[in-house]
Structures are given as structure tokens and as C-alpha cells.
Chain A
Amino acid sequence: MVESVLRLRSAAWPLVMGMIAGGAVVLFAGAGLFWALVALALAALLIAQFVTFQEPIRPAEEKADDPVAALPPMTRVLLDQLPIPVMLLDDDERVQFVNQSMRDVLGPGLDRKRASSVLRNPDVLAAIAEARRGFSANVPFSLPVPIERHFQAYVARISVSPPVTALLLHDLTVVRRSEQMRADFIANASHELRTPLAAVSGFIETLRGHAKEDEVARDQFLDIMGVEAARMRRLIEDLLSLTRIEMNEHVKPEGRIGLEGVVRQAANALKPLAAQDGITVVVDCQPGLPQVVGEHDELVQLFQNLIHNAIKYGQDNGKVQVILSRQDAVVAVAVRDDGEGISPGAIPRLTERFYRVDVKRSRERGGTGLGLAIVKHIVNRHQGRLSIESKLGVGSTFTVLLPVAPAETPAKSTQAEPVTEML
């Protein structure tokens, strides 16, 4: 609007000047006084119109353009710091304001965009349209990918002039997740525990029955039962840690951490196990590696799982190499074994829970089918990537790419700025 008025005005000035000049020419050239007066009057009329025109339009435009700028600074700071995601929209459904929490959910670059471009969920868009007509609404919605999140959206008209619609989100992810995790846990546990449990009960029955007096068979059976019981225990441990990690997957990790220490800790813990198969674990670290954002315990578990796999599926008396290096904005940790490799068809499904390339071999090696699923979830939470390369007969490399931690204090500067404004 402002621009078109400006354009009209700039186009009108030459016209006005032309008319004045025309009037003067007419006057001095001696054409009738009447026509000269008419020309001058017209010019004066035009000028008068533009002079009165431009005054009332500016303030009204500004007000409609940015209702947020009109807020007291303290209110703006409060809105921005609120742990509840807030978005304010105008009547074109354009984003007028988003606070930090909303940016955390939807990402940066939201200003002045249309609601349908930043939040495509049809239910929420319908609620926004309703709110424009004065009906406040309350709709549940979820963002299924990349990490599943659930929200309740409250949408209401909070001001008619200037027109402002507010959208508030209530994060229900934790609640919904814990429901889902519980269901998944029970389903997985009951399914996966069935086989070892059946084996154990079978042996108990045999020991009570015809193997009662057979000492050799008894020892053998007890050994097998011990192995099965250990497997059940591992399975439950893995399921529990997977559940725990999944619960927090949508929460960004906070600590800053050097990966070398983490990797060495994981490797050292597994050295005795590697020694049993005559495998050497070598950690090779590029000096001056930057820190990454991450949680210590989870990262240790991540690398322990990867190195443990490399030991399990590597060649006896072979070598497991762990190589840390920096690649642009990420730190790469590659865990390389010299085992028989994985067929290309199986690679994309390795991180599926309970997926096993070779069920029998995995069981023999004491695998639960959850190790890489855990790895994948930890990597997701850390906003990293996992890449798997493998060549049959040569070996496999599992590479974890974790983003380098940003230079410190970005969070503090956004806080400090509004406070000085308040003072």
C-alpha cells in the first residue's frame, strides 16, 4: 500500500509542475486570463489533495504493519523468553512474530512467511482460519518427522484492530511418548523373551523328568539355561536403555564434549573382550579436534555398541580401527572392522530394531538385535548422521558424523540484548 501511494505521488509531481508551468505560459503569453486562472486553480487543487493525502495514511499503515513493535519492551522480552512456543499472525495469515521456543520447534526464517508455509498441518490451518472469524480453537497435531513430536495448538483472535491471531503450542511429546514407549516395550519384550523363555522352561521340564538322574545332561542343560538367562537379561537391559533414549530423543543434548576421551573410554572398556578373540583395538585421533554438543553417557554407549559390534563380527586375531577426524562442520568417527562384510541389501535395514542379517550367528554372538537401533537413536538425538559402508570379504565401516559445537555464548547474547533495552 505505502509503496503504491509513494509511486502515485512521485508520478503526480511532474504533472503538477507541468500544470503550473502551463498556467504561467498561458498567463504571460497573453491568452485569456480566465484559462490561466483555471490552470492555476487546478494545480492548487492537486497540490492540496496530496498534502492532505499523505498525513493520515502513514501512522495507520505502520500500526497495521507491525503490532508487535507497538508492544512495551518488557512484554516483548517476556514473550520471547516464554518457554511456550508463541506465534502471532496477521489477517493475511502472515507471521508477525515468533518467540525463541517457536523457532526451536519450527526452525529459523519464519518471519513474514504465510502460516501455510511454516506449519502445514491442515487441522492447525483450519483453526487459524476459524480464529480469524472469532472462534478460538484447540487442536492436537503432530510433527511425525524427523523426530516425532506431539502438540496441542491453541489458536485465538487476540486483537481486532490491528488484526492479530495468536497461536500457542503445548508440548505433549513426553506424555505421548511415554504411552507409546510403554506399549512398544511390552510388545517387544513379550515377543523377544518368548523364545529364550520357552527354551529355559523346556529344559526345566526335562530336568524334572527323564534327565533327573543324568549328571552329564544336567550340567549341559544348566549351561544352556545360563546362556539363555544371560540373553534375557541383556535383552531387557537393551530394551530399557532404548526406551530411555527414545524418551529424550526430541530434547537437544546440552553438554559440550571432546570425542577422543569418549571413544578411548569406550574402547578401553572393551579391550578385555577383544583380547579373548585376539583382536586389537586401535584408536587413531587427529590432533586438535573440536568439541561436539553431546551427552557423555549416551556417546560412550554409542561407541561401545559400535566397537563391540566390530569385535563381534570382525575376524579372529584381526584389528578394529577407530579413526577420529574433522570434516568441515562435523567430527567423523569411523569404526572399521576386517570381518566378512554385510550384503548391500541388508545395510539400509541394519538399524531396524530386531533386524538381524544372520539370526543364528547373532544369537551365537549374544546379540539382542537392538545395538544399532540404540546407536541410531543416539545419533538422531545428537542431530548427527550414521553412514555404513561395507564390502563383502573386506570388512565394514560404521561412521558417525556429529556436528561441531558452535562457538560459545550464542544463547546468552539473545538474552542480554533485550535486558539492556529495558534499562
Chain B
Amino acid sequence: MTEHTVKSFGEQLEALSALVAQMGGLAEAQFAAAIEAIARRDSAAAERAVAGDARIDEVQQEIEDRALKLLALRQPMAVDLRETLAAVKTAAELERIGDLAKNIAKRALVLNREPPIRLTQSLARMGKASQNQLKEVLDAFTSRNAEEAEAVWNRDGEIDEIYNSLFRELLTYMMEDPRTIGLCTHLLFVAKNIERAGDHCTNIAEVVYHMVRAGHLANARPKADTTSETSVPYETHA
């Protein structure tokens, strides 16, 4: 940590970061519960994930209040300013991940009333990949590690590809047996939500990179967002 003439400023900033890490922990737990609900047909875990959302929103509010106070009273500069902004931005992304987890959990409650389908295992596996991204990007945030953030950012393509593959498989299922359309639509949304959660992790990675290096990752993104568009042709093709 850099030295500050006013010690309590450094402490306030650190407390803000710690709060973001804490919020990250809440989002991780909620997302894990949602994936658990899908993988193990565990409705109790789904209820937990749905209930967890309120607490996340609360913490986000607190982070925003504190950051605002810091900006107004301390007028931070350079890395301090970036850290304050990073806290607000990361909190917003985490809040979205929480919402997605809640939505996945709600759908899990519906899925668990239907007969089991093997594809939920593929979804759970995709969920693990997103979970891993979330863990690593939060690790990068707490350890201020730009390389780690960049690695997370580069790995997002893998999740997109799993999503494309699942998307196609679900469409074939629905065409083969229209009775599964209801079920498969839920699975499709679950897959989409997991993929979105992965995207939010890359957003956090960009924030972390900017916080540490003051440069932007987005300018150099190697393959843009083509993966999300490759699924469209399958729609017309199917």
C-alpha cells in the first residue's frame, strides 16, 4: 500500500476494497448455490441463492455511499482515484452477477420439478467454468494483479464456446421432441445467464487492469465479441 500523509485515508480506501472483496464473497456463494441447485437438483440451495440477493444489494449500496463520501471529502488522485472508481464499478458488476445467480436459482426450482435431464450436467460444468472466472478475477482484484486479470479476460472465449455448443444441442433437442420445449427454454436461459456472468467477470478484469496499470484492456481485445454472434446462424440454420 502506498503511504498517505493522512493515515486514515489509506485505511478508508482499504476498508472500501475489503468491502468489495466481501461483496465478491457473497456473489461467489450465491452463484455457487445456484449452480449447486442445477447440478444436484437441490431446491434448498436454490432458495438460498434467491434469498442471498438482498444482502448483496445492501452491500453494494454501502460501497457506493462510502465511495461517494471518499470522493467528496478526500478528492483522491491517481491510483487512489482509480481504486475508488474500481470499487464502485466492480460492485455494480457483482450486483449483476448476483441477479443472474438469482435468476438461475429460480429456474432451477422449476427444473427440479421436472424429470432429470442429462444436459443439466453440461450446464453445471459450464457454471463451474464461470465460477472459476469469478474466483480468479476476485483474487486478481484483492491482490492487485493485472496479469491475472488479463488471463481471466482472455479465457472468456472458452465459456462462450461451451455456450454455443449447448445452444445448438438444446435446439436439436427441442426439434426432436417438442414436449421438451418448456424445459429446454429454461435450460437455454440458464446457459445464457451463466455466459453473461462470465462476461461480467471479464468486465471486472478490465476494471482491475485499469486500476493497476491505468491502461485499458478493451482497446487490445484480440477477438472482440464474435462468440456471442456465432450462435445466431445456428438459430436460422436449425
Contacts and interface: CB of A to CB of B under 8 A. Distances in A.
Interface of A: 3-4, 93, 109, 113-114, 116-123, 125, 142, 144-146, 191, 344-349, 352-355
Contacts of A116: 18-19, 21-22, 25
A93 B19 CA distance: 12
Given A109-B143, A114-B14, A114-B18, A120 B132 contact: no
Nearest to A187: B116
B29 A121 contact: yes
B22 A122 contact: yes
A96 to B, nearest CB: 16
What 10 A-B pairs are tightest by C-beta distance, nearest first?
A: A120-B25, A117-B142, A145-B132, A348-B161, A116-B22, A114-B18, A348-B162, A345-B165, A116-B21, A116-B18
B180 interface: no
Interface string B26-51: 10110010010000000000000000
A144 B22 contact: no
A353 B128 CA distance: 14
B25 A349 contact: no
A109 B145 CA distance: 12
Contacts of A346: 165
B65 interface: no
Contacts of A117: 17-18, 21, 142-143
Contact of A145 (B24, B26, B55, B135): B135
Given A145-B131, A349-B122, A120 B138 contact: yes
A53 to B, nearest CB: 19
B154 interface: no
B69 interface: no
6 contacts: A116-B21, A116-B25, A125-B22, A145-B135, A349-B165, A352-B121
Nearest to B26: A122
Interface in B125-156: 125, 128, 131-132, 135, 138, 142-143
Nearest to A113: B142
A144 B131 contact: yes
Contacts of B55: 122
A348 B142 CA distance: 29
B221 interface: no
Given A114-B21, A144-B135, A348-B158, 4 more contacts: A117-B142, A119-B25, A142-B32, A349-B162
Given A114-B14, A349-B162, A122 B21 contact: no
B163 to A, nearest CB: 9
Contact of A122 (B17, B25, B164, B165): B25
Interface string B156-191: 001001101110100000000000000000000000
A348 B161 CA distance: 6
B7 interface: yes
A148 to B, nearest CB: 9
Nearest to A146: B132
Interface string B114-125: 000010011001
Nearest to A121: B25
A379 to B, nearest CB: 15
Nearest to B134: A145
A122 B29 contact: yes
Contact of B161 (A109, A122, A125, A344): A344
A354 B117 CA distance: 13
Interface in B3-17: 7, 14, 17
A349 B167 CA distance: 12
A355 B126 CA distance: 13
A404 to B, nearest CB: 20
Contacts of B32: 142, 144
Contacts of B14: 114
Contacts of A352: 121-122, 125
A142, A144, A191, A346: residue with the most chain B Cβ atoms closer than 10 Å? A144
